[in-house]
């Protein structure tokens, strides 16, 4: 390595900025290996590839030349002590380096392992089929209409009693519960009556209408920001009304996938309510056999809001049907007897689906991603109108176990065997194959006695302020360290860990 490198004096910032901007639009498409599961502040692969190659060259031209060279880091050992989802790990491996990767958070190292661990694809598919046989029929059964059609989403609303008159108040901020992302272009919208929960078709900008039971429905609901107005017009703070208890919720509508393949909105029926009640009973009966989330929220910057709302246990983030369905799914994965790597891949996939299947999610609308998942703002913000999705899912679902198996695991597998990279050409940024080595490796969780060999990675969950790395064993340290105390990922990652502790020992 040169004494003064391109990283210090001639970094190809202009080119990498163009490439990085392109990659940033859909990170998961360009870097599937590190996208099998949620992690926060994922860094751009192309930028880290640029950093790695600039660190071993003298000037911009040489750095850009190295950026195109699959084996430029061969013979070097790269260490990331705060590795997160593993961007450094993957980029270094793609350039032929030996890799050491630490992170204190077990969810982070789970994500890293999926990015490099070798999967036997037929074993992975066999494991997926076994899980499907064990739990799919039952999950499907509890997400359907009386006529047997699939329910993609159930819409829920939180309810609080007015502190003055104790009247129950449904905490809608608007009675439009579904509209297009571009409502001026597609003005049709779905409206709910806050009195009888009738579901109507209208316009996104309607002023007032009358439901089929004769109730007057206005566009705005009982809640504005943090203030609620009860049916008798008393105003109070929502948090005062909740008085430290997590809100009760009520189902008010569903999105059905009809036998004809078309989606339609419908009100909740007695059948829906009794099906849900049945799930509560089944959950109670099978409590001891099912994998369920354990533990309480730690007090911290990112959990404060949820705790103020009365959410103190991770289990409260899910309703009974979610606990039952996800519990069945997780138990099926726990009980698999298949290869360890393939089983862990499904555990990671399962954990990833949790982000879209809990009562902190909401409906984003039509014409855009349907589910606004719980971490879209890096905090745990309680939802007043949560969305309950079908966890197994259908091809028309977003964020379900079956769709993410395709879009996350299988896509990651393809990428790990033949990674692609972005190059800046005259016509723009172009995705290009053949510039990288496969990322697959055998994972060790202690420093190998014989030293690291190509094809082996040392990947460890632990505090990197003290390591067992021998002197002179590392050539490059490339990392994105914790940024002051700004975002407390561990507090958020506990949401996944509450389930994973029983799945990934």
Is residue 227 a contact point for DNA (CB under 7 A)? yes
Q: Which residues, 6+ apart, have CB-to-CB distance to 484 below 8 Å? A: none
Closest of 90, 112, 99, 80 to residue 46, by C-alpha: 90
28 versus 502: smaller Cβ distance to DNA: 28
**DSSP alpha helices (H): ranges in 233-357?**
238-242, 270-286, 304-308, 320-334, 340-354
Is residue 371 a contact point for DNA (CB under 7 A)? yes
Is residue 84 a contact point for DNA (CB under 7 A)? no
Closest of 19, 11, 17, 16 to residue 59, by C-alpha: 11
Judged by CB under 7 A, the chain residues 163 through 222 that form the site for DNA are: 173-174, 179, 181-184
307 versus 469: smaller Cβ distance to DNA: 307
* Angle between helices 45-54 and 87-94 in degrees, nearest 10: 60
State how far the alpha carbon of 138 is from the alpha carbons of 141, 242, 405, in Å. Answer: 5, 34, 19
**DSSP alpha helices (H): ranges in 405-488?**
411-417
CB 363, min distance to DNA, A: 10
How far is residue 178's CA from residue 200's CA, in Å, rounded to a whole number?
Answer: 11
Judged by CB under 7 A, the chain residues 442 through 501 that form the site for DNA are: none
Is residue 343 a contact point for DNA (CB under 7 A)? no
Is residue 226 a contact point for DNA (CB under 7 A)? yes
Judged by CB under 7 A, the chain residues 116 through 145 that form the site for DNA are: none
Out of 129, 166, 216, 431, which residue is the one contacting DNA (CB under 7 A)?
431
Is residue 271 a contact point for DNA (CB under 7 A)? no
324 versus 496: smaller Cβ distance to DNA: 496
32 versus 327: smaller Cβ distance to DNA: 32
How far is residue 117's CA from residue 342's CA, in Å, rounded to a whole number?
Answer: 9
How far is residue 69's CA from residue 470's CA, in Å, rounded to a whole number?
Answer: 29
Beta-strand relationship, 371-372 and 188-192: unpaired
- Which residue's structure tokens are 């439901």? 211
CB 8, min distance to DNA, A: 26
How far is residue 216's CA from residue 228's CA, in Å, rounded to a whole number?
Answer: 19
420 versus 439: smaller Cβ distance to DNA: 420
CB 324, min distance to DNA, A: 23
- Point out which span in 4-12, 48-56, 223-231, 327-335 binds DNA (CB under 7 A): 223-231
From residue 28 to residue 67, the character string flagging contacts with DNA as x (rule: CB under 7 A) and all else as - is xx------------x-------------------------
- Point out which span in 18-26, 58-66, 282-290, 319-327 binds DNA (CB under 7 A): 18-26
CB 227, min distance to DNA, A: 6
How far is residue 205's CA from residue 203's CA, in Å, rounded to a whole number?
Answer: 5
Out of 147, 225, 288, 425, which residue is the one contacting DNA (CB under 7 A)?
225
CB 338, min distance to DNA, A: 26
Q: Which residues, 6+ apart, have CB-to-CB distance to 374 below 8 Å? A: 317, 355, 358, 360, 361, 380, 381, 495
For DNA, how many residues bind (rule: CB under 7 A)? 42
Q: Buried b vs exposed e over 380-411: b needs ≥16 C-beta within 10 Å?
A: bebbbbbbbbbbbbeebbbbbbbbbbebbbbb
Radius of gyration (Cα) for the chain, nearest Å? 25
* Residue 378 CA, distance from chain mean position: 11
450 versus 483: smaller Cβ distance to DNA: 483
77 versus 178: smaller Cβ distance to DNA: 178
CB 287, min distance to DNA, A: 31
- Burial class from Cβ neighbours inside 10 Å (0-12, 13-18, 19+) for residue 304 reads middle
Out of 218, 285, 368, 442, which residue is the one contacting DNA (CB under 7 A)?
368
CB 200, min distance to DNA, A: 18
From residue 374 to residue 413, the character string flagging contacts with DNA as x (rule: CB under 7 A) and all else as - is --xx-x-x--x----------xx-xx---x--xx------
- Which residues bind to DNA, rule: CB under 7 A? 22, 24-29, 42, 173-174, 179, 181-184, 224-227, 305, 364-371, 373, 376-377, 379, 381, 384, 395-396, 398-399, 403, 406-407, 431
């Amino acid at each position: 390595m040169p004494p003064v490198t391109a990283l210090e004096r001639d970094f190809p910032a202009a080119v990498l900025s163009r490439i990085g901007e392109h990659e940033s639009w859909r990170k998961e498409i360009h870097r599937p290996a590190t996208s099998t599961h949620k992690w926060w502040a994922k860094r751009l692969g192309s930028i880290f590839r640029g950093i790695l190659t600039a660190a071993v060259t003298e000037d911009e031209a040489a750095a850009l030349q190295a950026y195109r060279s699959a084996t430029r880091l061969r013979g070097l050992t790269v260490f990331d002590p705060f590795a997160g989802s593993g961007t450094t790990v993957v980029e270094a491996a793609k350039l032929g380096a030996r890799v050491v990767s630490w992170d204190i958070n077990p969810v982070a190292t789970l994500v890293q392992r999926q990015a490099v661990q070798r999967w036997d694809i037929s074993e992975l598919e066999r494991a997926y089929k076994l899980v499907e046989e064990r739990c799919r029929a039952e999950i499907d059964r509890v997400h359907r209409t009386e006529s047997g059609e699939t329910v993609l989403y159930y819409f829920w609303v939180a309810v609080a009693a007015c502190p003055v008159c104790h009247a129950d108040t449904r905490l809608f901020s608007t009675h439009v519960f579904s509209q297009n992302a571009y409502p001026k272009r597609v003005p049709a919208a779905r409206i709910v009556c806050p009195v009888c929960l009738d579901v109507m078709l209208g316009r996104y900008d309607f002023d007032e209408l009358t439901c089929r039971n004769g109730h007057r429905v206005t566009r705005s609901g009982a809640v504005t920001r943090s203030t609620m107005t009860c049916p008798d017009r008393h105003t109070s703070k929502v948090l005062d009304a909740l008085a430290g208890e997590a809100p009760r919720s009520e189902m008010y509508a569903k999105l059905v996938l009809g036998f004809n393949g078309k989606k339609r909105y419908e009100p909740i029926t007695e059948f829906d309510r009794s099906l849900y009640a049945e799930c509560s009973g089944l959950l109670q009966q099978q409590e001891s056999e099912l994998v369920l989330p354990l533990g309480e929220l730690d007090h911290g910057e990112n959990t404060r809001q949820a705790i103020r709302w009365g959410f103190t246990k991770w289990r409260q983030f899910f309703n009974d049907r979610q606990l039952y369905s996800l519990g069945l799914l997780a138990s099926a994965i726990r009980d698999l007897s298949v290869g360890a790597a393939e089983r862990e891949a499904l555990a990671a996939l399962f954990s990833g689906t949790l982000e879209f299947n809990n009562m902190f999610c909401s409906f984003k609308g039509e014409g855009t991603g349907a589910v606004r998942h719980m971490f879209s703002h890096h905090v745990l913000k309680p939802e007043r109108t949560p969305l309950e999705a079908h966890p197994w899912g259908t091809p028309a679902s977003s964020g379900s176990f079956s769709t993410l198996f395709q879009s996350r695991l299988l896509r990651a597998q393809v990428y790990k065997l033949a990674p692609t990279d972005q190059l800046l050409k005259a016509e723009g940024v172009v995705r290009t194959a053949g510039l990288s080595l496969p990322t697959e490796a055998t994972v060790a969780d202690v420093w190998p006695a014989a030293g690291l060999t190509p094809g082996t990675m040392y990947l460890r969950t632990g505090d990197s302020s003290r390591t067992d790395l021998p002197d002179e064993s590392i050539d490059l340290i490339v990392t994105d360290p914790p940024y002051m105390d700004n975002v407390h990922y561990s507090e958020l990652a506990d949401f996944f860990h509450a389930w994973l502790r029983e799945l990934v020992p």
